[in-house]
Amino acid sequence: MPDEAFEIYKATRPTAIDYSNTPIVMPLRDQDQHLLLKREGWGDHISSYTPADLIESTRISTPEDALHPLKDVVEGYIERIQPEIVRHAAFGMQKLIVDVGLSDNMARFNTITSDSCRKYGRFLWRLIFNLLRQLRKEGGAYKYPITDEQAAALKALIRSMRQFWDVFKEFPISQ
């Protein structure tokens, strides 16, 4: 009897709405917008996309993806540059890519741990993977706004990778 009552209850409930394919719409009143969406302009930037579009355009690679072999190289890059950061600590860029402690005076300068390097490397890989997918016309609906300098850096990466992986042999390098 309890199972039967539960089945009757389930049959009377409406099905769940799938919001993943519903376009993102910004609230009409500015005060109802999240600060990140309002202040940084992300609301207008993503308002014509669905959550599914954004998820596909920012996804991590899988072993089935042709670009997946580059993952370990990109993730390992952060760890490999740690000694360089220590050697060039006086140039001021380290605050953007390492832990500098509680104060901004660099009195306690630390490189990041191997685990943190891998975590940061995953974010870097996700970005590079999706930028390369966009260059290959394989990405999601969202198109990253790539500057000329960024396009040049991606093209240099592609040229350097051509000697290691066949997937880069026929890779387009024109934007």
Q: For residue 140, what are its two tokens?
A: 């999601």
Q: Looking at the structure, tell me whether residues 40 and 80 fall in a common domain.
A: no
Residue 166 clears pLDDT 50, i.e. is over it? yes
Residue 127 clears pLDDT 80, i.e. is over it? yes
pLDDT at 139: 80
> Environment class of residue 99 by beta-carbon count within 10 Å: exposed (0-12), middle (13-18) or buried (19+)?
middle
DSSP state at residue 168: G
Q: Looking at the structure, tell me whether residues 130 and 64 fall in a common domain.
A: yes
> Can you tell me the distance from the alpha carbon of 101 to that of 85, in angstroms, rounded to the nearest whole number?
15
pLDDT at 146: 86
Give Cα 54 distance to the centre of its chain. 10
In a domain, 107, yes or no: yes
DSSP state at residue 170: T
Cα 55-56-62 angle, rounded to 5 deg? 110
Q: Which domain holds residue 89?
A: 60-175
In a domain, 54, yes or no: no
Q: Looking at the structure, tell me whether residues 83 and 148 fall in a common domain.
A: yes
pLDDT at 46: 85
Q: Looking at the structure, tell me whether residues 68 and 23 fall in a common domain.
A: no
Residue 95 clears pLDDT 60, i.e. is over it? no
Q: Give the model's confidence band at 52: pLDDT under 50 very low, under 70 low, under 90 confident, else very high.
A: very high
Residue 111 clears pLDDT 50, i.e. is over it? yes
Say if pTM beats, i.e. exceeds, 0.75. Answer: no
pLDDT at 149: 92
Residue 65 clears pLDDT 80, i.e. is over it? yes
Residue 107 clears pLDDT 50, i.e. is over it? no
Q: List, as one string, the DSSP characters of 108-137.
A: S--PPPHHHHHHHHHHHHHHHHHHHHHHTT
Percentage of residues of the chain with pLDDT beyond 70: 78
> Can you tell me the distance from the alpha carbon of 9 to that of 32, in angstroms, rounded to the nearest whole number?
35
Q: Looking at the structure, tell me whether residues 78 and 160 fall in a common domain.
A: yes
In whole angstroms, how far apart are CA 117 and each of 72, 111, 122?
Answer: 12, 9, 9
Q: Looking at the structure, tell me whether residues 170 and 116 fall in a common domain.
A: yes
Q: Looking at the structure, tell me whether residues 146 and 173 fall in a common domain.
A: yes
Q: Give the model's confidence band at 91: pLDDT under 50 very low, under 70 low, under 90 confident, else very high.
A: low
pLDDT average, residue stretch 91-108: 52
In a domain, 55, yes or no: no
Count how many domains the chain has: 2
In a domain, 53, yes or no: no
Q: Give the model's confidence band at 51: pLDDT under 50 very low, under 70 low, under 90 confident, else very high.
A: very high
Q: Looking at the structure, tell me whether residues 120 and 90 fall in a common domain.
A: yes
Residue 93 clears pLDDT 90, i.e. is over it? no
Q: Looking at the structure, tell me whether residues 81 and 154 fall in a common domain.
A: yes
Q: Looking at the structure, tell me whether residues 107 and 31 fall in a common domain.
A: no
Q: Looking at the structure, tell me whether residues 73 and 44 fall in a common domain.
A: no
Q: For residue 8, what are its two tokens?
A: 């009757």
